[in-house]
Amino acid sequence: MVVAAATRRAGPFLTVEPVLTEACFLLQRVNLGVQTLLGMVRDGHLRVGLALEAEVRPIEALMKRYVSVPMSLADACLVRLAELRSGAQLFTLDSDFHIYRKHRNRRIELVDLG
């Protein structure tokens, strides 16, 4: 599902370091999972598109706004990345992104994975 959607789009794809951390954790038990993911970064198919240190204040504000969800650091970084990148589309299976808004009231465009 995700692979099919990704192959229909041109890369490289932008992500954030907290998402890479979560993905590495989830891929620990997948044969060559972590190596494949890091290889995608090394080879330029995945690029880190946000510096946490530079965006910490807006990210803190997002996490505070969505404290009742609660919003993870990875989710907040992705919402902030969507705010910074006009026309950004997000690949996710996380239903919380139907709740989150960029710029306080604008829906985040999600890639149809179906």
In sequence order, which residues have a C-beta less than 8 Å from that of residue 20 and are 6 or more positions away? 37, 41, 46, 48
Q: What angle do CA 92, 98, 99 make, to 5 degrees?
A: 125
Q: Which domain holds residue 26?
A: 2-110
What are the tens digits of pLDDT across the range 58-104?
A: 999 999 999 999 999 999 999 999 999 999 999 998 999 999 999 99
Look at the chain and report how many structural domains it folds into: 1
Give the alpha-carbon dihedral of 105, 84, 14, 78, to 10 degrees.
-40
Burial class for 29, CB neighbours closer than 10 Å (0-12, 13-18, 19+): exposed
Whether the model clears a pTM of 0.85, i.e. scores above it, the answer is: yes
